Amino acid sequence: MLNLKKKLSDLAIRAKSLKSGLSHKKATAAVLTAALTLGAYNTVSADSMKLTTVYYVYLNDTYIGTVTNKEIVKQIIAEKQEKLASSYKDIDIALGSQVKYIPEQVFRSTANNSEAVENLEKELQPQADASAIVLDGKPVVYLADKQTADDVLKKLKMKYVTEAQLNEIETQKSVSQNALPPLKENESRILDVRLSKNASVEDVRIAPGKVLTAEQALTFLQKGTLEDRKYKVKDGDVLGSIANDHQLSLADMLAINPGLNEDSVLKPEQEVNITVTVPLLEVIVDKEVSQKEIIPFKNEYINDSSLPKGEKKVKQAGENGNRLATYTVSEQNGKAIKKILTKQEVLVQPVKHIVIKGTKVIPSRGEGSFSWPAVGGYISSQMGYRDGKLHKGIDIARPSSYTIKAADNGIVVSAGWDGGYGNKIVIDHQNGFQTVYGHLSSIRVSPGETVGKGSAIGVMGSTGDSTGVHLHFEVYKNGSLKNPLSYIGR
């Protein structure tokens, strides 16, 4: 009698401890049943009372029902797991681990197997034991296992380096960079390969439909997500070209720019909406590069007051030098984002380019007297009529040098080809006089240029209607032709 009371008391206590999973009514019913059984003990023989075991079934800590045999539940789970295994061949499906059983011995069973099974089939959801690639603390993609996840991250890196280079980097990490041998000309080496975000792999339990293959995960990490951006219109841009450059259809382009249509004319600096793909994860490759570079020469200018303003003379020709430069370069998804010069060795020093610049101001107004326009020579033909035609000036031939000089200060009015004159220069001396220089082989001045008395303006030649190398020289005063011999001196 005392043993039975103790058992019933223990039963009541256990029923109370199950209150979190069972309804209050069921816990109370269990105690009442025990109490009634105890009251009836006086009239019923102990041998006729039998305890039966029932199982309270919990799915992820949620009460599902009560069964007389837990094998009923296990059978349901096994059948469902077998069916799922054919759909998810490479994924470990976890079903049984979600279910817990709490056994209880009772005098009168209230178990309802069919109700428990129905509730279980309704609530039981497949879960996969998988591995997540976590970026900056956030899971972004799920794979079947850690090895596959690690392989995806490795394959992403191998889009930009080889496997051999990855292995070499791991070897280098055990050696100080200061201990690495110096690079030779045009050599390079990879210092590190890293990811743009803090990446880790964690074990998770997730719906199997969210688990991707390695190829799908790699593509997802590379393509990333779409982001809205602003694009500033450039000269020549049209909607179609902007859409094409950003992998958008024209319809998509118009959809995100409601104020535009196919016939809209875009203006430079106008902003339009675009969408761009932003990778979830990018690869950064740090390199060390050695290359031979040109050191450009510098220009130095020296003023010379004895040289007419605008004239220049090269005192020393510049020469480029060269150096061996070492850079650390960071590339993100193959594009350089940083380049730092870390070391340089000058192989050849550059030579300055030194130019002397004239500062002497040449007056544009003539002095009123003309100097001999050639270097030596004699008058081979004077002004006057020849064969019924007027020879408008004098011809000077056989000089000691073919340089032709301005007879006085002035401004070049014209310089170029003029029919029978050949190459011709006209100078206005700003005092009523003009001089003409014909048959030149080449011209050294330009219209509008100020020239000084005796400065070189061209080279004697035989262009136009000429029978030999000579200078044809004319003088005009206030528009009237004059005999040069009345003004020229030697």
Full DSSP string of 412-457: EEEEEE-GGG-EEEEEE-SSSEEEEEEEESEE---TT-EE-TT-EE
- List C-alpha distances in Å: 257 to 113, 251, 263, 265, 314: 61, 10, 13, 13, 60
pLDDT digits (tens, 9 = 90+) for 324-364: 999 999 999 999 999 999 999 999 999 999 999 999 887 88
Same domain, 354 and 293: yes
Q: Is the pLDDT of residue 38 over 60?
A: no
Please say which residue of 96, 126, 156 terminates a domain: 126
Sort strands 442-443 and 378-381 into parallel, antiparallel or unpaired: unpaired
The answer as to whether 238 is a domain residue is yes
pTM for the structure as a whole: 0.55
Q: Which long-range contacts (CB under 8 A, 24 or more apart) does 414-421 make?
A: 414/447, 415/443, 415/445, 415/446, 415/447, 416/443, 417/463, 417/464, 418/464, 419/464, 419/465, 420/464, 420/465, 421/464, 421/465, 421/472
The answer as to whether 201 is a domain residue is no
Query: What tokens does 193 get?
Result: 């390969």
Q: Which CATH number goes with the domain that contains 259?
A: 3.10.350.10
pLDDT > 70 fraction of the chain, expressed in percent and rounded: 88
Query: What tokens does 52 get?
Result: 């039966």
Same domain, 39 and 72: yes
Instruction: Yes or no: say if 306 and 360 are a contact pair by the CB < 8 Å rule.
Output: yes
Q: What is the predicted pLDDT for the residue at 177? A: 63
CA 167/CA 162 separation, integer angstroms: 9
Same domain, 314 and 249: no
Comparing 26-40, 45-59, 164-178, 262-276, which segment has the lowest mean pLDDT?
26-40
Least Cα distance to 331 among 193, 222, 225 occurs for 193
Can you name the residues that pair with 434 across neighbouring β-strands?
428, 476
Measure CA 260 to chain center: 29
Same domain, 311 and 333: yes
Q: Which CATH number goes with the domain that contains 425?
A: 2.70.70.10
Q: What is the predicted pLDDT for the residue at 176? A: 66
Domain assignment of residue 315, given as a range: 283-360
pLDDT, greater one: 228 or 8:
228
pLDDT digits (tens, 9 = 90+) for 77-120: 888 878 777 777 777 776 656 789 999 999 888 899 999 889 88
Sort strands 62-67 and 52-59 into parallel, antiparallel or unpaired: antiparallel
Q: What is the predicted pLDDT for the residue at 37? A: 41
CA 38/CA 6 separation, integer angstroms: 11
Q: What is the predicted pLDDT for the residue at 8? A: 37
Q: What is the predicted pLDDT for the residue at 60? A: 84
The answer as to whether 71 is a domain residue is yes
Task: Return phi, psi of residue 99, to 5°.
Answer: -105, 135
Please say which residue of 56, 91, 126 terminates a domain: 126
Same domain, 344 and 439: no
The answer as to whether 300 is a domain residue is yes
Q: Is the pLDDT of residue 23 over 60?
A: no
The answer as to whether 105 is a domain residue is yes
Confidence at 436, pLDDT banded by 50, 70, 90: very high
Query: Using alpha carbons only, what angle is made at residue 95 by residues 91 and 98, rounded to the nearest 5 degrees?
Result: 130
Same domain, 415 and 467: yes
Same domain, 83 and 69: yes
Least Cα distance to 272 among 303, 242, 235, 230 occurs for 230
The answer as to whether 203 is a domain residue is no
Q: What is the mean pLDDT of residues 190-205?
A: 95
pLDDT, greater one: 10 or 244:
244
Comparing 31-35, 156-160, 452-456, which segment has the lowest mean pLDDT?
31-35
Comparing 18-32, 171-185, 399-413, which segment has the lowest mean pLDDT?
18-32
Same domain, 389 and 448: yes
Same domain, 56 and 92: yes
The answer as to whether 119 is a domain residue is yes
Q: Which CATH number goes with the domain that contains 311?
A: 2.20.230.10
pLDDT digits (tens, 9 = 90+) for 367-393: 888 999 999 999 999 999 988 899 999
Number of domains in the chain: 4
Q: What is the predicted pLDDT for the residue at 180? A: 80
Same domain, 337 and 428: no
Same domain, 61 and 28: yes
